Amino acid sequence: MKYYIIAGEASGDLHGSNLIKELRQRDPAADIRCWGGDLMEAAGGKLVKHYRDLAFMGFVEVVANLRTILRNIDFCKADILSFQPDVIIYIDYPGFNLRIAKWARSKGFRNIYYISPQIWAWKENRVHTIKASVDRMLVILPFEKDFYQKWDYPVDYVGHPLAKVINDHIVQHPEIRKDSKTIALLPGSRKQEILKKLPVMLGVAAAFPDHQFVVAKAPGQEDDFYAPMLAAYPNVSSVRNDTYNLLMKADAALVTSGTATLETALFGVPEVVCYKGNKISYLIARKLIKVKYISLVNLIMDKMIVKEMIQDDMTTANLVTELKEILENDQYRSEMIRNFNVLREKLSAGGNASAKAADLVMEELKR
């Protein structure tokens, strides 16, 4: 069978790589062409475009790069027509993927969406495009099945793929121990978000001279990009392609909003969630987004588990205050970790999400 998989971010690359591994177990002769990253390529996909060339964050940034985005869409359509896949699998990345899915349906291709766009947060009317264009939707968050049910659109809940990925990593690395002096900094993967958040995060290091702050560098960004920002801080170091081992060691973390907040929680690391973006993009988003929280941890638990420092609240002073609370208030810290354990149980209920997703893809192809 021929599979065409489209992911546009680092998290999609991770989930896409695990899906590719499972598909190859079920279809050893699989011909897989993909948009994603190094992980999907290492898993056996033929990489067409790397996500570092696709990730534009915020309304203003999307408008500024509209010509590039439209060129990528045209290129993707031509590449699909040339490849003629038996199925196209979309991983999140809705602005791009829903356009391709609508077009692909008109051309007679079979569409499967793995990891739903967060339309429950904003642009809920995208559900009409999904119903008209997507043959099967595989969701990874417990509340998404109920969301789609109200729109009379049946979906398959497969569990969250990170639950197994992270549990497996912990089991495979018993030698890594917690270090009470290590603080992880996860500033994101896109260049513009790193430039906005990392300098504020780094400012916290000066208030904790006895701690070692470690920046998790994004796979898509070069060392030279980080060097000027890190140079002024003697107690700051960095790692590349080693974020999970860093989280196993870290005593606390400052984490950019997104999948990383969930990963950090599943490793049981008390965290502060950080978001700061383009001011105009933020003001537009605030008017459109309907959810109470920006962190997946809080959304899934439906209550404030981790503190969210958003836009103007994301200051070095506020991060210092919250980090001190995490490090020095044992009751506060213990309650956060207890909630992380409940979260882990919720997301593990589906079992091996990547395997379930692969089974459903194969089931759909047999129809």
Q: What is the CATH number of the domain that holds 15?
A: 3.40.50.2000
Tell me: the pLDDT tens digits for 85-116?
A: 999 999 999 989 999 999 999 999 999 999 99
Q: What is the pLDDT of residues 195-222, one digit of tens each?
A: 999 999 999 999 999 999 999 999 879 9
- Is residue 344 located within the same domain as residue 359? no
Region of 123 (left: φ > 0; alpha: ψ -120 to 50; beta: rest) is left
Q: What is the pLDDT of residue 272?
A: 98
Residue 115: name the closest of 158, 53, 52, 54 by CA: 158
Residue 156 confidence (pLDDT) above 60: yes
**Planar angle of CA 180, 184, 190, nearest 5 degrees:** 175
pLDDT at 286: 59
- Which two tokens mark 280? 């105009």
Within this chain, do residues 34 and 181 fall inside the same structural domain, yes or no?
no
Integer Cα distance of 257 and 297 in angstroms:
10
Q: Are residues 297 and 213 in the same domain?
A: yes
Q: How confident is the model at residue 118 (pLDDT cuts 50, 70, 90)?
A: confident
Same domain membership, residue 106 and residue 206: no
145 band by pLDDT with thresholds 50, 70 and 90: very high
Chain mean pLDDT for the chain = 91
Looking at the structure, do residues 341 and 227 belong to the same domain, yes or no?
Answer: yes
pLDDT of residue 288: 53
Is the same domain home to 247 and 281? yes
123 and 187 co-located in one domain: no
Structure tokens given for 328: 């020095």
Domain range for 256 is 165-348
- Residue 64's pLDDT is what? 55
Q: Of the segments 40-44, 118-122, 286-290, which one has the largest average pLDDT value?
A: 40-44
CA dist., res. 48 & res. 33, Å (int): 7
Judgement on whether residues 218 and 83 belong to the same structural domain of the protein: no
| Residue 121 banded pLDDT, cuts 50, 70, 90 | confident
141-168: average pLDDT: 93
| pLDDT exceeds 60 at position 345 | yes
Predicted structure pTM score:
0.81
Residue 61: its pLDDT value, please? Answer: 53
Distance of alpha carbon 33 from alpha carbon 6, whole angstroms: 9
pLDDT at 282: 54
Per residue in 276-332, pLDDT (tens digit) is: 876 666 555 555 566 688 899 999 999 999 999 998 999 999 999 999 999 999 999
Bridge-based pairing of strands 136-139 and 46-50 is: unpaired
Q: Which DSSP category does 238 fall into?
A: E
270 and 326 together in one domain: yes
* Residue type, position 299, single letter: L
- Tally of structural domains, the chain: 2
- pLDDT given at position 90: 98
pLDDT for res 311: 87
Let me know whether 175 and 95 are in one domain: no
φ and ψ at residue 57, rounded to 5 degrees: -110, 125
259, 141 Cβ separation under 8 angstroms: no
Look up residue 81 and give its DSSP letter.
Answer: H
Does 115 or 70 have the greater pLDDT score?
115
Domain match, 290 and 202 both = yes
Asked if residue 169 and residue 141 are part of one domain, the reply reads: no
- Distance CA(341)–CA(273), nearest Å, equals 18
